[in-house]
Amino acid sequence: MQRITILGSTGSIGTSTLDVVARHPDRFRIHALTANRQSELLLRQCRQFKPEYAVLLDERAAFQLRQQVHEAGLNTEILYGVDALERVAMLPEVDTVMAAIVGAAGLQPTLAAARAGKKILLANKEILVMAGNVFMEAVRTSGAVLLPIDSEHNAIFQALPRGYDGDLAGNGVCRILLTASGGPFRNTPLSELQNVTPQQACAHPNWVMGRKISVDSATMMNKGLEVIEAHWLFGADADDIQVVVHPQSVIHSLVEYVDGSVLAQLGNPDMRTPIAFGLAYPERITSGVAALDLFKVAKLDFIAPDFDRFPCLELAYQALRASGTAPAVLNAANEAAVGAFLEGQISFLDIPRVIASVLSSMPVNAVNNLDDVLGADAEARSTAMQKISALPGTKRAAPLHGGY
């Protein structure tokens, strides 16, 4: 029986994970669930899965949930705060940690799981973007097992040789081909992007995702972050990773070998497939995902990315090449800019402007420890908010809140 902590159980990845777990009660047991402030959904999850622990970041919400859990006759212990997230990620009785908290908020609890030597199902790309060398060193030192859950990286993992050791050339690999849907604005005239609304940006044509990651997909920053993630996961340099726009989202990524072979992983766009792969690895289990109907798909298109349309993708490549704190600065500036866009403070096209301005105004420093990352993150967020406030036409809104 595999005991699981889900960091971010009320988000799209968390709920999909619980769906797969519910299909295999003989294999998996939920030990801890965590959420930001969605206490009502977390209560329903506690009723169904009866975890030993449930964590909310907000103390008041946790107090209310504690009362509701008691009234429901459940034995779940309710905790709150960042320290509690780290605690449930490190519990000795936990085998597997699903890292599904969106953004920088997931860094410290997932790093705690790595240091504790857990099997980590990594669905939070920002962890490797911000602190790739720190996180990967923790994985190596503790002997943790790291399995990528992002559909693209999971596909690459499946297409690489079993036991891949991070040496592309030594394993006969030419390059990694990272597919991207192109998001909702792949064909939108550039002149119309200035007036894009948050609702339009969040309407992804293929995937059902949270608001922040949906906007990242619309700007293709999501793909840029995945390029940086692939660098750390697979030992690939920027020039070894090519982004390919594939509107159907059927091929999730490909690996090209020196003999001319190109191996691809295909499937319907449903995150339960990589989640089931990670949970049961190296075995295969049913996920609830419908079989891929190739006759219905009919054709597969591949298009080179347009960097004029998607400047965020180019900014991510620049940050990867700069290395050091540049990726952490990129991520922090993006989170601040996307948050401001979702709050109606700035326009869609202001997102890359803010990020580029922050990157150009901050020095690139070496990353030797977590403090280096957190310092760069905090400074970049502060700088980004200054840049946002200085933009012409910036609207005032309530303070931004991160979450998952």
CA distance 353 to 349: 7
Domain shared by 172 and 83, yes or no: no
pLDDT tens, 360-375? Answer: 999 999 999 999 999 9
Looking at the domain assignment, is residue 396 inside a domain? Answer: no
Domain shared by 124 and 176, yes or no: no
Looking at the domain assignment, is residue 400 inside a domain? Answer: no
Domain shared by 8 and 145, yes or no: yes
Question: Region 189-207: what's the mean pLDDT?
Answer: 82
Q: How many DSSP H helices and E strands does the chain contain?
A: 16, 11
Domain shared by 214 and 350, yes or no: no
Report pLDDT for 42: 96
DSSP conformation class of 246: -
Amino acid in the structure at residue 388 = I
Looking at the domain assignment, is residue 404 inside a domain? Answer: no
- Please say whether the beta carbons of 312 and 56 come within 8 A: no
Q: What percent of the chain has pLDDT over 90?
A: 83
**Position with higher pLDDT, 184 vs 121:** 121
The model carries a pTM of 0.90
Domain shared by 121 and 161, yes or no: no
- Please say whether the beta carbons of 90 and 116 come within 8 A: yes
Print the domain residue range for 264. 156-268+290-297
Looking at the domain assignment, is residue 401 inside a domain? Answer: no
Of 132, 149, 166, the last residue of a domain is 149
Report pLDDT for 366: 95
- Confidence category of residue 225, pLDDT binned at 50, 70, 90: very high
Question: Region 272-280: what's the mean pLDDT?
Answer: 98
Question: Region 87-99: what's the mean pLDDT?
Answer: 97
Domain shared by 200 and 116, yes or no: no
- Confidence category of residue 187, pLDDT binned at 50, 70, 90: confident
Question: Region 121-150: what's the mean pLDDT?
Answer: 95
Question: Region 300-314: what's the mean pLDDT?
Answer: 94
CATH number for the domain spanning 332: value is: 1.10.1740.10
Domain shared by 6 and 137, yes or no: yes
What backbone torsions phi and psi does residue 373 show, to the nearest 5 degrees? Answer: -70, -50
- Confidence category of residue 208, pLDDT binned at 50, 70, 90: low
Q: What percent of the chain has pLDDT over 70?
A: 96
CA distance 89 to 208: 26
CA distance 8 to 27: 21
Question: Region 377-398: what's the mean pLDDT?
Answer: 84
Question: Region 181-192: what's the mean pLDDT?
Answer: 88
Of 107, 134, 149, the last residue of a domain is 149
| Number of domains forming the structure of the chain | 3
CATH number for the domain spanning 38: value is: 3.40.50.720
Which string of DSSP letters, residue by residue, matches 117-173?
Answer: T-EEEE--THHHHHHHHHHHHHHHHHT-EEEE-SHHHHHHHHHSPTT--S-TGGGTE
CA distance 98 to 398: 31
CA distance 110 to 97: 8
Domain shared by 185 and 68, yes or no: no
CB-count burial class (<10 Å; 0-12, 13-18, 19+) for 317: middle
Domain shared by 165 and 97, yes or no: no
Looking at the domain assignment, is residue 283 inside a domain? Answer: no
Domain shared by 249 and 114, yes or no: no
- Please say whether the beta carbons of 83 and 107 come within 8 A: no
Average pLDDT, the chain: 93
Q: Is the pLDDT of residue 205 over 70?
A: no
Report pLDDT for 207: 60
Q: Coil, strand or helix: which one is 32?
A: strand
For residue 395, give both structure tokens. 């609207």
Sign for the CA dihedral angle at 53, 54, 58, 62 comes to negative
Looking at the domain assignment, is residue 315 inside a domain? Answer: no
Report pLDDT for 399: 39
CA distance 375 to 325: 9
Q: Is the pLDDT of residue 302 over 50?
A: yes
pLDDT tens, 23-41? Answer: 999 999 999 999 988 889 9
Domain shared by 97 and 38, yes or no: yes
Domain shared by 263 and 333, yes or no: no
